Structure 1
C-alpha cells in the first residue's frame, strides 16, 4: 500500500486495502468453472491465531448435498467462531482486486457478487477483514477453524445453506496458486471459500504476507 493510501485512510483500521487482496484476483477466472484436479492434503491451519496449528483433522465428513437454486446471501453464521455477520455484495476495486467491505464496517462479510451464489453449484467467495488497528475484525479467528465445523449462509429465498469445512490453509503471497485456492474440488458440488489476511503484517508495505482460505461444501439446508 502506498503512503497516499495510508493518508487517505487514517483512522480506518489496519489498512490492508487493494494490494492486500490482489492475490484474490488470480482466482477470478476459475469461478463458475469445473476445475476438479485440485490436490488435497496441503492444509496449514494458521493466521494470527497460531493455536490452530497442529490440530487433528476431523476423521469423517458428511456427504455433499445437491446444489440449490440461485439465491443471494444475507447473513453468515459460524458457530465455532461465534460469528453472526451481515453479508454485502462486492465487486472489484480500481486496482482490479476484490473490494472488501469498508473498514468502518469491519464486522461485515463481503461476497463476490459476480461469482457463484452460496448454495448453488460452483465455489462462492466470501471475504472479510482479520483486524483493524485497534480491534479484531469479523474473520479474525478464521484460521482457528477445523475440518468438520459448520458454516451457515442465510439466503434471500428464506433458505439456509449449511456447509461443512473440509480444508483450512494459509497461503503465502509468493506461493499463491489460483487453481489450488479457488478450483472446484468436486464437479457439480456447491462450495464455499472464506478468505482473509494471514501470516504476518508487513508495516513497510501495509499488507499481510499470506491469505487464510477456508474451504467448505454444501451438506444440508433448512428454512
Structure 2
C-alpha cells in the first residue's frame, strides 16, 4: 500500500511538473512573440522603451490580502490615461498566448487559463504597443514607475488596486519566462502587464524586447 501511494504521489508530481514546464514554454513563446507585428507591411512607430527597476519595499505600501476569483472587466492606469476593456485570451497553435486582435488596439488581453487579477498568484495582462498608424493601449507602459497605481475592475463589483514595484525591459534573446511572469512573493496577488519594447527589427518584423511591469495588490474598493 505504501509503495502504491509513493508511486501515485510520484506520478502526480511528474504531471504537475510537466504542466508547469508546458506553461513556462508557452509563456516563453509568448514573451518572444506575444506582440509581434503582422508580416508583409511596413514597420510601425516605436514606443518609449525606458524602464525602472525595483525600489526599496519599505517605500511602497503593504500588500493587501488576496481576493477570491472574479473575472477582470476593465483596466485603468491613471498615470497613462488608460481605461481599457479586458478580453480573455487563450493559446495559439504554437502554445503561445494569443494577444488581442490587431484591429482592437485599445483592448487588453488577459490569460484566461491563468490567475485572475486579485487572486493569489501572478495574473498576466498583455496589450499592443502600437499599430502601423498610431499608438496602442500600452504605448507608454514603460514610463510607469514604482508607486504608480493600476486598477482592475472585476465582475464581483470590486476594484482591485495594484501598486507598481518593478518595470523592466527584457531582451527576447535568452528570455526567462519564470523571471518575467512568475510570482515575486508566494501568497501575494500580483499583476504583470506586458507589451513590446526595445527596437523594431525590420528583418524579423518584430521588437527585440518586452516591457514587463510588475505590480501587487494593495487595496480594494467597491
Which TM class, normalised by the smaller chain length?
0.7 to 0.9
Question: Which stretch shifts more, 163-172 or 177-186?
Answer: 177-186
Structure showing the higher helix proportion among its residues: 2
Which structure has the bigger radius of gyration? Answer: 2
Partner deviation per Cα, 1:58-98 (whole Å, 9 max, x = no partner): 77100000000100000000000000000000001112211
Structure 1 counterpart of 2:27: 25
**Aligned counterparts of 2:193 and 2:152: Cα–Cα separation in 1:** 12
TM-score, with normalisation over the residues of structure 2? 0.77
Residue ranges of structure 1 left out of the alignment (5+ in a row): 1-21, 29-46
Structure 2 counterpart of 1:164: 163
Structure 1 counterpart of 2:84: 85
What aligned pairs does 1:1-223 form with structure 2 within 5 A after superposition?
Answer: 25-26=27-28, 48-50=47-49, 52-53=50-51, 60-223=59-222
1:175 match: secondary structure: coil
TM-score, with normalisation over the residues of structure 1? 0.77
**Aligned counterparts of 1:24 and 1:131: Cα–Cα separation in 2:** 23
* Offset at residue 204 of structure 1 (A): 1.4
Runs ≥4 residues deviating over 4 A: 53-59
Equivalences, count: 183
Cα-Cα RMSD: 2.2
Question: Against the structure 1 CA distance between its residues 116 and 165, is the aligned structure 2 distance closer, same or farther, given a 3 Å change threshold?
Answer: same
